[in-house]
Structure 1
Amino acid sequence: MLDRARVRETVLPLVVLAGGTTAMGVFGCYQLNQAAGATVNGSGALQLVLCVTAGALAMLAAIGGSRPLLRRVTANPAQTAD
């Protein structure tokens, strides 16, 4: 249950913030290109998709990599006198 909560608390804010920021950036870029009368080149969109994909994969790798640490920390729930 703790692992599920940790994943939700990491993924949900990242998706909302990164998705919103990316959408606003694409919208702003489209409006700027339209106002300037510029033609749209597909290489920028491809680069954006690759960067977002790489970021999502890095996030998932970090979540998966920290799972053993979470299990080790929560394995012995005995109270200590700190």
Structure 2
Amino acid sequence: MLGVNQAPKDYKPPSFDRARTTLVDECQRELETKLTPMKDTWTTHGTSIVFDGWKNVKRQPLINVVASNSSGSMFMCAIDFTG
């Protein structure tokens, strides 16, 4: 909350709808652009799929899936194993 309180007086935050649609889409495109060079190395350098199991604050079992090679590691998804 501290960051919001320190915003410039004339700052107008994005609308709820814009934050959920346009801004999320822009962020997703930017991430894909930045991650493409790493993904392109997967076919030439190989890739290891790494799984990491843990429990969240509600003690629900989760498994993180990460792709990793010499270029770096990339979070792929989290799988909920509750049921």
In terms of fraction of residues, the more helix-rich structure is: 1
Higher relative CO (Cα under 8 Å, sequence separation at least 6) belongs to 1
In terms of fraction of residues, the more strand-rich structure is: 2
